[in-house]
Amino acid sequence: MSIQAIDILRRVKEVIYDIFWPKKCIKCNKIISLGKKEAICRKCEAGVLMNSSVVIEPDRYFEEVNCALPYEDYVRKYMIDYKFHSYKYLSHAFAKAIEKIVEGREFLDTHKIICPVPIHHMRDREYNQSLLIARELSEKFSLELCPDLLIKTKNIKPMSSMGYAKRYASVTGVVDFNLRYDVYGKNVILVDDIYTTGSTADECAKILRMHGCENVIVLTSCYRDPTKGDVYFADAD
C-alpha cells in the first residue's frame, strides 16, 4: 500500500471518529466542529492563562526549561486522558500551549533539532505522548524531528514517592543515544509533557551533551509541583 493510500485511510478514520466520538473542548466540554484539529474552543482558548515560565536552574545539563501550563484543574484531567486513555488528538492543544510561550524566542533560530523524552518499549501505551507534541512543534517551527534520538533502555519504577536524590538515582543510566544521529556541535530542543523535578530531562540532556550536543533547551506542556503526589503521574519528572 502506498504512503498516499495510507494517509487517505488515516484521514477517513479520523472523520469516522469525529462523527461517532466527536472532540470536545478540554475546558468547557462543548463539542468542537467536525474536522477541526483544535482541542479547545476559541472562546476558552482566549481565556487560558499561560505560565509563560522560563526556569533556569544551576548545575543542570540543559540551559533552561519552558513550561506552558500549571498542572491543575482541567489541564490535569485532560493530561491524564491524553497519556493514559488514548486521547491522542489532545497533542495539538498541549503543543499549541507551548507554541504560545516560545513563539518569537531567539533559540528557535539556533536550535533546529527537536526530540522527545523517550519511553520504554515495555510501557503499556501505544504511543509516546511527548513525541506527538514534538511532531506538532516541528511542523509549526520548521524543526528537524528526530523521534528516536534518545532511547529508553530500562523501564523504571514509579517515582511519585521518591525524594530528589532517589529520583535522580533511578533515572541514571536508563537513557541511551541513537548512534545513527550526529548532534556534535548542534543545539537540541527536548520535549516532555510534564516537568516536575527535572531529573529525567537532566539525564536526557546529559546524554546529548556527552555525544557532542552544544546546548539543550527543554519545552514542556505542564509544570507539576513535586511536593504534590499524583498516582497518575508517578513517572512524570
Tens-digit pLDDT profile for residues 89-144: 889 889 999 998 999 999 999 999 999 999 876 555 678 999 999 999 999 999 99
Give the β-pairing of 64-70 and 53-55. antiparallel
Residue 223 Ramachandran class (φ > 0 left, ψ -120 to 50 alpha, else beta): beta
Kind plus residue range of the DSSP H or E element containing 90:
none
Number of domains in the chain: 2
Split at pLDDT 50, 70, 90, the class of 155 is low
**In the listed set 32, 47, 62, which residue is the last one of a domain according to the structure?**
47
Model confidence at 145: pLDDT above 80: yes
Task: Clarify whether residues 126 and 206 are in a common domain.
Answer: yes
* 12 pLDDT tier (thresholds 50, 70, 90): low
Of 87, 88, 43, 40, the residue nearest 68 (C-alpha): 40
Distance separating alpha carbons of residues 20 and 34, to the nearest angstrom: 11
Confirm if 48 and 34 have CB atoms less than 8 A apart.
Answer: no
CA dist., res. 129 & res. 190, Å (int) = 13
pLDDT at res. 57: 75
Please check the confidence at residue 52 and state whether its pLDDT lies above 60. no
Does position 79 have pLDDT exceeding 50, yes or no? yes
> Which of the four pLDDT bands, split at 50, 70 and 90, describes residue 60?
very high
What are the CA-CA distances from residue 76 to residues 33, 84, 139, 183, 193 (Å)? 24, 12, 26, 34, 11
Q: What is the pLDDT of residues 166-224, one digit of tens each?
A: 555 556 678 999 999 999 999 999 999 999 888 899 999 999 999 999 999 999 999 98
18 and 70, same structural domain? no
Is residue 200 located within the same domain as residue 88?
yes
Q: Which domain holds residue 24?
A: 1-47
Contact 33, 23 (CB under 8 A): no
Q: How would residue 47 be classed by pLDDT, with cut points 50, 70 and 90?
A: low
Contact 236, 156 (CB under 8 A): no
CA atoms within 13 A on the CB side of 147: 8
CATH of the domain at 205: 3.40.50.2020
User: Phi and psi dihedrals of 3, rounded to 5?
Assistant: -60, -35
Q: How many helical (H) and strand (E) elements, i.e. helices and strands, does the chain have?
A: 8, 8
- pLDDT at position 233 over 50: no
Q: Residue 148 is placed in which grid cell?
A: 528516536
Instruction: Give the CA count within 13 Å in the CB-facing half-sphere of 169.
Output: 5
User: Are residues 114 and 199 part of one domain?
Assistant: yes
**Same domain for 114 and 212:** yes
User: Residues 3, 108: one domain?
Assistant: no
3, 67: one domain? no
On whether both 126 and 186 belong to a single domain, the answer is: yes
pLDDT at residue 61, rounded to an integer: 96
Would you say residue 234 has pLDDT above 60? Answer: no
pLDDT greater than 50 at residue 14: yes
Identify the band that residue 235 occupies on the pLDDT scale cut at 50, 70 and 90.
very low
**161 and 55 both lie in a single domain:** yes
Answer with the residue of higher pLDDT: 71 or 22: 71
What string of DSSP letters covers 121-149? TTSS-SS-HHHHHHHHHHHHHT-EE-TTS
Tell me the C-alpha distance between 58 and 108, whole Å: 22
218: left (phi over 0), alpha (psi -120 to 50) or beta: beta
Residue 137 in contact with residue 108, Cβ under 8 Å?
no
